[in-house]
């Protein structure tokens, strides 16, 4: 397995994704947590240094543990990683050179296993640079094998020690051949086989769950989303009926979704499931509430109350399952030295483990979202479940600006179902990150047949994104929009006008509230 030492780059996670995509298991650890003892225990077969925002020319800037250089394993050092590697091994780095941000071309001077089967000597290839400082004197044993206009040491290597350093970022898509270079590093140079598969991960995960839980019982809150579903099915494979699933149905799901969750678990997997149908209680608590944050808090608190009631009803459990993913777990490092630990708390069950004195079982905490999907397929979850767009915990409540009523929820559910049906028919579902209808608290005048109508406006939203942090509106054809609008207005009672939201994020957000 590979160790990625994180110096705080924005794109460190992408290194891990590329490495795992090539079938090699890896983990990211912050530079200041990696010491000799850690290295001994982890026993990496190869190490990658990430980039980072600091400057090695500043006093307190991050360094790699010295022991890393003595393990005899190959090291690939990227950007800031390159600079600290050279400084630590006796080279020199200076600031104040022409800054190179964005696309650059590297010219290959000498062949290397790093770009075997990919780049040829004498040719130029596009890469992505992002840095101010640069190495001006190589550490001994290194030679330059590629240059760029502003980076005479674009790639410098010590083939004998198997130390590789690049000034550019191979992990980003703007370095088109970057994934191949990373693969060459892990496969050709480090000699790893690339046999890390989801089937193997599943077996390891099941063994880990059994070891952690022993003969205890686990309780799992289902939301209908991919993460909690995959976690539940995996844990069920590990411990069978000692897993109790609780589906807190707040009545703010999409059309048919509640029924699908119940049927998947009870009929398809035969997993015991408590279906807490509490829609009236949630709607009651939300009556008169129109502030989005109050909506979220009201739903979050009631969710915990209901979950706790149901858990107590079955006599409690020693463990609570959570679908925490790797991006929530990775500790980020701040620019200069000081660790800043950011761990996102799960919106559904925040506070529950302490309140109920339970230990956490988090079988997905090593996985990225797309890996969770692959694991779901491995576990036999239907594609309609595994490939689902993200859906927010508070559900339709944050897609009905203003006060929420049962009537409005029903109208929105119908409009949303018609909209998604059109998206699927047009073959667009998988090209879109998230698509949904929003019911506006505005009525407008229309004419249908011979009569005047006075009904709600429905807004359609669809975005592309890679992580939900930034997003672009989806460029539908006018044809598609016309078709979706006509169907919604004809088939959904209570809507007589449809608009399309063309706001990107930023400055907008994906949800309307």
Question: In whole angstroms, what is the distance from residue 42 CA to residue 99 CA?
Answer: 37
Question: In whole angstroms, what is the distance from residue 493 CA to residue 252 CA?
Answer: 19
Q: Is 380 annotated as a binding residue?
A: no
CB closer to ligand XMP, 209 vs 510: 510
169 is catalytic: yes
Minimal distance in Å, beta carbon 273 to ligand XMP? 21
Q: Is 223 annotated as a binding residue?
A: yes
Q: Is 229 annotated as a binding residue?
A: yes
In angstroms, how far is CA 192 from the centroid of its own chain? 26
Token pair listed for 143: 């030679």
- Report yes or no: 135 and 91 within 8 Å, Cβ to Cβ: yes
362 is catalytic: no
Question: In whole angstroms, what is the distance from residue 190 CA to residue 181 CA?
Answer: 12
CB closer to ligand XMP, 384 vs 470: 470
Query: Given the DSSP bridges, would you call strands 143-147 and 155-158 parallel, antiparallel or unpaired?
Result: antiparallel
Of these residues, 29, 86, 131, 169, which one is catalytic? 169
CB closer to ligand XMP, 55 vs 504: 504
CB closer to ligand XMP, 347 vs 443: 347
CB closer to ligand XMP, 337 vs 468: 468
Token pair listed for 396: 């339709």
Distant-in-sequence, close-in-space partners of 508: CB < 8 Å, separation ≥ 6: 501
Minimal distance in Å, beta carbon 349 to ligand XMP? 11
For the chain, the C-alpha Rg in angstroms (whole number) is 26
The phi, psi pair for 32, rounded to 5°, reads -85, 0
Q: Is 226 annotated as a binding residue?
A: yes
Binding region for ligand XMP (CB under 6 A): 296, 347, 390, 392-394, 434, 468, 505, 509-511
Q: Is 263 annotated as a binding residue?
A: no
Instruction: For the sheet with 243-249, list strands across it.
Output: 273-277, 243-249, 218-222, 319-321, 359-361
Of these residues, 26, 79, 409, 458, which one is catalytic? 79
Of these residues, 29, 86, 100, 171, which one is catalytic? 171
Minimal distance in Å, beta carbon 300 to ligand XMP? 8
Query: Given the DSSP bridges, would you call strands 319-321 and 495-500 parallel, antiparallel or unpaired?
Result: unpaired
422 is catalytic: no
Minimal distance in Å, beta carbon 423 to ligand XMP? 16
Q: Is 227 annotated as a binding residue?
A: yes
Q: Is the backbone peptide bond immediately before 272 cis, with ω within 30 degrees of 0?
A: no
Minimal distance in Å, beta carbon 5 to ligand XMP? 30
> Annotated catalytic sites, by residue?
79, 169, 171
Q: Return binding residues for ATP.
A: 223-229
Q: Return binding residues.
A: 223-229
């Amino acid at each position: 397995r590979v160790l990625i030492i994180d110096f705080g780059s924005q794109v460190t996670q992408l290194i891990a994704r590329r490495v795992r995509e090539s079938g090699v298991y890896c983990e990211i650890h912050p530079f200041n947590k990696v010491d000799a003892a850690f290295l001994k225990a982890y026993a990496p077969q190869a190490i990658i240094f990430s980039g980072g925002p600091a400057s090695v020319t500043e006093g307190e800037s991050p360094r790699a543990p010295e022991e890393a250089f003595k393990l005899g394993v190959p090291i690939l050092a990227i950007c800031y990683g390159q600079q600290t590697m050279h400084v630590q091994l006796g080279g020199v780095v200076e600031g104040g050179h022409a800054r190179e941000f964005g696309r650059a071309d590297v010219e290959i001077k000498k062949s290397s296993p790093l770009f075997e089967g990919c780049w040829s000597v004498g040719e130029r290839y596009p890469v992505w640079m992002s840095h101010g400082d640069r190495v001006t004197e190589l550490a001994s044993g290194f030679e330059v094998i590629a240059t760029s206009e502003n980076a005479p040491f674009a790639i410098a290597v010590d083939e004998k020690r198997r130390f590789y350093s690049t000034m550019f970022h191979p992990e980003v898509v703007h370095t088109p051949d970057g994934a191949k270079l990373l693969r060459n590093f892990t496969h050709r140079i480090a000699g790893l086989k690339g046999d890390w598969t989801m089937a193997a991960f599943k077996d390891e995960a099941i063994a880990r769950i059994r070891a952690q839980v022993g003969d205890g019982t686990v309780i799992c809150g289902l939301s209908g989303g991919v993460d909690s579903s995959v976690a539940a099915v995996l844990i069920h494979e590990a411990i069978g009926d000692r897993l109790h699933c609780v589906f807190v149905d707040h009545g703010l799901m999409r059309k048919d979704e509640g029924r699908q969750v119940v049927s998947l678990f009870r009929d398809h997997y035969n997993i015991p499931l408590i279906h807490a149908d509490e829609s009236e209680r949630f709607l009651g608590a939300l009556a008169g509430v129109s502030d989005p944050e109050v909506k979220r808090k009201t739903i979050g608190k009631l969710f915990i109350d209901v979950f706790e009631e149901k858990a107590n009803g079955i006599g409690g459990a020693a463990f609570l399952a959570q679908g925490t993913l790797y991006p929530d777990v990775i500790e980020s490092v701040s620019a200069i030295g000081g660790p800043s630990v950011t761990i996102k708390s799960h919106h559904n069950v925040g506070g529950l483990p302490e309140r109920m004195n339970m230990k956490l079982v988090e079988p997905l905490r090593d996985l990225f979202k797309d890996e969770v999907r692959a694991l779901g397929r491995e576990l036999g979850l239907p594609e309609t479940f595994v490939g689902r767009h993200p859906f927010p915990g508070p559900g339709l409540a944050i897609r009905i600006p203003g006060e929420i009523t049962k009537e409005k929820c029903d109208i929105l559910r119908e409009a949303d179902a018609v909209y998604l049906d059109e998206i699927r028919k047009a073959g667009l579902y998988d090209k879109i990150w998230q698509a949904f209808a929003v019911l506006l608290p505005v009525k407008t005048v229309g004419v249908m047949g011979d009569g005047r109508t006075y009904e709600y406006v429905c807004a359609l939203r669809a975005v592309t994104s890679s992580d939900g942090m930034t997003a672009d509106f989806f460029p539908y054809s006018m044809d598609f929009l016309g078709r979706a609008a006509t169907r919604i207005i004809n088939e959904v009672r209570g809507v007589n006008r449809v608009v399309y939201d063309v706001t990107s994020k930023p400055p907008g957000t994906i949800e309307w509230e």
